[in-house]
A and B are shown apart, each in its own frame.
Chain A
């Protein structure tokens, strides 16, 4: 298949970028989206041009490194799918495909399609951990009984890969889905309960400090999240935040 790509090119963080059109020819439907970009990049390199910079790592949908706002949606048109797991059969021969970086004040562009997502790391550092005793008599986590329902909910929240598609999709560039998944995965379990109040306050504070917008419950994040993290996590985080600020210590 042949496609016209409209790709955001930006030399570095301080340059003004622009959309550049590329024609790609003889693309196989079995290729992944990133392989299609690899083919284009090989051609660009062979012609002496700068290849298009984009993030990727595992290419199997588990690391959260890949991104790309494809035809108006983060990770492209397939639901519950990361860009690395998206295949060219999702596109039509002759189609024009827009490829842009995540857009958010808190995710500045580094180059072309790569953005700096270290704001997420700083949110995790602010509280996305549990303190455990490592002096040698650590209790095995499996020795603590946990209701199946809680374990399932915590696990669902823990499948967040930190890709940032929720921020990219949200009209407010809000990071609530990501932060609430991280808050939920810990606070639902006994090990995470100890620091639950401080955690939610600190992580929300860091999130606001990074310049993400506020949640207005449009549901765009949930619809675009490759891991199906649900809006209920956001409501749980609101609940915990209210509890931690209105009646702390209960």
Chain B
């Protein structure tokens, strides 16, 4: 479920796109939505786990968790942080974002474009491809996390 209505989505997408051109096509809006709704899931979607990637510790099997759990104090900190960011995007949607808000949008656009695709951005690693950054080794491209 998106935290934004269609108009809000358009406003957030425009802010992300103006911070990092091309970021929305690579999934930046999905990234922000995934972040703001992280606590709709259990465990919350804050830290992606290696998942089914069979590293040197061996095949973890199909039940390998896709996300790492948070401790209770980490949950408190992340709930606070996400609530703060929800307010930032509220101001973006309302057209009242200040410089500090736009710094948050810029940081999220960068993370979404060039971070691990597990978080909803950098679709199929295309962000890395467009700057010639080689696919990370762990997990390898074929076993990329979802």
Q: Do A and B bind each other?
A: no
Instruction: Enumerate chain A interface residues (CB-CB to B < 8 A).
Output: none
